[in-house]
């Protein structure tokens, strides 16, 4: 795969990570995440069981979970932008920033693995793949006499 194709593929993976993170925020409002059965028992009467209506992540947990997911969007978008800067200019600091942000996202997904972390893993993996495929552009040399 040549550098141009790798660059577009890396860009697509990074953009996919940002879209996934945005979809998580939307899903917090729209996708049923909680549901189940409830049973009531009273002395001297039979146990009555029924299913509970499904509720969304937002309906159960409130705004704090949306704010947390917006933080995931911010970290994902910053990592994607840093990878773009690295590809376009060859800036090593941008690459380092992207690696740290991707690691932060991966650690968050592990720490919160029993709740929303499982849904954050795809964004971290897409960014990791994007970082792996992002071609490095050699830093531009300054013109002779500049920056004496």
pLDDT tens digit string along 87-102?
A: 999 899 999 999 999 9
Strands (E) located in 1-148: 32-40, 48-56
Q: How confident is the model at residue 142 (pLDDT cuts 50, 70, 90)?
A: low
pLDDT of residue 109: 94
Longest alpha-carbon distance in the chain: 96
Pick the closest to residue 122 from 9, 6, 33, 23 (CA basis). Answer: 23
- Decide: 101 and 82 in contact? Cβ < 8 Å: yes
pLDDT of residue 37: 65
Q: Note the Cα 83 to chain centre separation in Å.
A: 15
pLDDT tens digit string along 33-65?
A: 877 666 777 787 777 776 666 888 888 888 999
According to the per-residue pLDDT averaged within each range, which of 2-11, 80-89, 130-139 is highest?
A: 80-89
Q: How confident is the model at residue 146 (pLDDT cuts 50, 70, 90)?
A: very low
Which DSSP letter does residue 26 get? H
Q: How confident is the model at residue 15 (pLDDT cuts 50, 70, 90)?
A: very high
pLDDT of residue 139: 57
- Decide: 97 and 105 in contact? Cβ < 8 Å: no
Tell whether the torsion through CA atoms of 30, 34, 37 and 40 is positive or negative. negative
């Amino acid at each position: 795969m040549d550098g141009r194709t790798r660059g577009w593929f890396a860009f697509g993976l990074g953009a996919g990570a940002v879209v996934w993170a945005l979809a998580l925020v939307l899903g917090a409002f729209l996708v049923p995440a909680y549901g189940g059965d409830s049973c009531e028992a009273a002395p001297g009467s039979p146990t009555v069981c029924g299913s509970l209506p499904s509720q969304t992540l937002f309906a159960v947990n409130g705004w704090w979970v949306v704010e947390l997911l917006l933080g995931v969007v911010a970290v994902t978008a910053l990592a994607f932008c840093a990878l773009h800067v690295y590809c376009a200019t060859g800036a090593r600091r941008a690459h380092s920033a992207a690696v740290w942000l991707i690691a932060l996202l991966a650690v968050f997904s592990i720490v919160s693995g029993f709740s929303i972390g499982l849904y954050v893993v795809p964004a971290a993996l897409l960014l990791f793949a994007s970082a792996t495929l992002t071609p490095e552009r050699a830093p531009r040399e300054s013109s002779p006499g500049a920056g004496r």
